[in-house]
Structure 1
């Protein structure tokens, strides 16, 4: 009996130690210190080596730190420990989707759906993921159908936001701009303080050549973008700051394009320069600045930016537009 009680006490201590490390790791994740979080999750795993949850959480930390091989290993270990867990399969499916392993994502999705056992919240999340997979596989109509089914199920707020904006984006790719705008206008009304919604909506007005309306929308979006004080008080993490910079870069780039089309070349140049300063690998910003330089008859500078945009992979992402422009202006 004494030995049994001692075993219970040891197990309780190990569990408490694991929980302590887990809580500390979660705090590090919130600040974006992924390497520190990984170390703490590893300590939790040492305390409870059969705890699938810990492997799952360390896998996510590895993925955020872009160590995808170790992330895959941990996700797989968590599933081996709990092979009937639909949520663990869902998490690995999300990981596969993130790294564009769409076939593997679909396989995990399908197995997770079989094991969901009537969990409506998880089933709705899986349906949204299926829409994402279809979208990235080029089945745009199928993606829209899945997203609409998610919205019919009255999903959690974050999923509702994602599906509304995704429908808008996919309808835009299908050249159904008016439908896309109707969804994105709804998103703006529902989430009036989220800059990315305005960015998507503004882009749809750019596609309709309604540059004045697009400019109005981008002005609003930029006014909502995160502002980091001199002491960094609004900065949650280095990764969050990077994401904010990329988001703001897109806003300034698109507003600059709208200004150029409205004839405000100086304002356009200022915005696109700001975009490049926030995200120097945005090939589309260099494309836009090349167009502005060309409008200003500064052909040499335009040619340099065309070459820079091509160097950054513009053609792979957006087509051969700049290859043709290069032939015209780069003599």
Structure 2
């Protein structure tokens, strides 16, 4: 008759009489799915997998279908909320420091007038941003916005170049607040007023995000940046990064070398050339390049951290762990300036859990909790820590961490993954909260232990 509400009512009554009635539980799951009550539907489907009365493949397929519907519903709600002005917040200081670390600090500009309040605000904003501290990016963002307002009110063409710089930076910070429309409008206006290499690099970033599958616009923007300023090390570096990701290793190597030649004090081209050599299967040469980078940049935490990533991929966890320790020490010595932020803490924790022992697990949790204190907006920390909390059956903490990660990350794939973990953890919590189902889980675990498989 299509009366799904009544189906749920009757099947619920039936299950109160006989909680093991699998066919009835399946019918209730189907009705709840039809009603859009996906969490309730997933609970029943998950319970069916405990009973073993149905083909596991069909049950898993049904659970995956319902989970995908719930994830889509959750994602749409989050994206709608993110469009509200009150939800437009900057992402992790770790990620911001990493991005702005790929540019030569711009601490002043031509025609600076200390009597012009807009100029003073713009200079303070640049200095604060490139200081790369935990809360400095928010302060810089506010100062850029104030400077823009004053330049606009003054409506003086002689300020156009400075106005454009403020728009550039405010625009890219809007991008990191997941406000793509404002970001595009501000950087476009900056290019209109005073096109610079940096404005085209920023625009390339925005265009790449708008159409991730098509890198032509991104490359066009980077090529334009180099055309405007052939001596801009960052432009070559970002173009090399794109070529590296696109597997044009030869082209990437040339651009990394050019970036290094133009700015010998820029650490990242040295690191990426070493990583590229590893990608080519030349591990020994890669180690040599990292050694050279370490000699040139002995205080840069970036060198041991990226070397640790290569060693992790190579399977040498012990050596990788030592490199992450070195990176953590150097990062702490650099404080309050952020270079890599909490990335070495996360990397070290990941290596520890790759070789599971009680001691490693405890140390990994401690590292991630410390990282969460150091950068409360890091989605990477929250996702990794949440998964460890899940393994400890600390479901409430895990759900909170996954939920926060889903809001904080800009990466679409990571956002969906975090939401899936939120929803799956909620179902797991409901399973344990149901006395009958909790008992079934314990019986199943006991039978596995009795069979000698362990948990």
- TM-score range (shorter-chain normalised) is 0.5 to 0.7
17, 28, 40: which is aligned to 2:125? 28
Q: Which residue of 2 is the match for residue 269 of structure 1?
A: 362
Equivalent residue in structure 1 for 2:246, among 115, 128, 137: 137
1:88-133 Cα offsets, whole Å, 9 max, x none, are 14422334226634433322233344444xx5x23x4433232122
Residues 162-199 of structure 1, C-alpha deviations (whole Å, 9 max, x = no match):
21122233444455443333322222222122222211
CA 1:114–1:191: 2 relative to 1, 3 Å: closer
CA RMSD of aligned residues (A): 4.3
Which one of 49, 56, 60 corresponds to residue 169 of structure 2? 60
Query: Is the 1:44–1:54 contact (alpha carbons within 8 Å) kept by the matching residues of 2?
Result: yes
Distance 1:276 1:253 in 2: 10
Aligned mates of 1:171, 1:40 — CA distance in 2: 44
Query: CA offset at residue 224 of structure 1?
Result: 1.8
Verify the 8 A CA contact 1:92 1:105 in the aligned structure 2: no
Matched, 1:198 2:198: no
Aligned partner of 1:111 among 208, 214, 224:
224
- Given that 2:304 and 2:326 are in contact with CA atoms closer than 8 Å, whether structure 1 keeps it comes out as yes
Give the whole-Å Cα distance in 2 for the aligned partners of 1:16 and 1:150.
32
**Structure 1 unaligned blocks of 5 or more:** 1-14, 229-233
Distance 2:186 2:355 in 1: 52
Normalising by structure 2, we get a TM-score of 0.50
C-alpha deviations, 1:224-274, integer Å up to 9, x for none?
22379xxxxx546xxx6xx76xx32x3223323444556653144323443
Q: Distance in 1 between matches of 2:255 and 2:262?
A: 13
Does the C-alpha gap of structure 1 residues 136 and 193 become closer, same or farther in structure 2, counting only changes over 3 Å? same
**Residues 51-87 of structure 1: per-residue CA shift (max 9 Å, x gap):** 13312322212322434433332332233234xx5xx
**Are 2:358 and 1:285 aligned?**
no
Could you tell me which of 130, 137, 148 is aligned with 1:41? 148
Unaligned runs of 5+ in 2: 1-111, 129-135, 210-214, 373-377, 425-440, 445-455
- Whether 2:294 is the aligned partner of 1:188: answer yes
Paired residues, what number? 280
Alignment map for 1:285-304 (pairs within 5 Å): 285-286=384-385, 289=388
Which structure has more RCO (C-alpha within 8 Å, separation ≥ 6)? 2
Is the 1:22–1:41 Cα contact (8 Å) retained in structure 2? no
Deviations 1:290-317 (A, max 9, x none): 89x5xxxx7x679x979x8899699946
Superposition deviation, residue 288 in structure 1: 7.5
Q: 1:113 to 1:217 in 2, by over 3 A?
A: closer
What residue is the counterpart of 1:221 in the other structure?
Answer: 327
Q: Show the counterpart of 1:251.
A: 344
Out of 190, 203, 218, the residue aligned to residue 78 of structure 1 is 190
Q: In terms of Rg, which structure is larger? A: 2
TM-score normalised according to structure 1 size: 0.66
**Secondary structure at the counterpart of residue 217 of structure 1:** helix
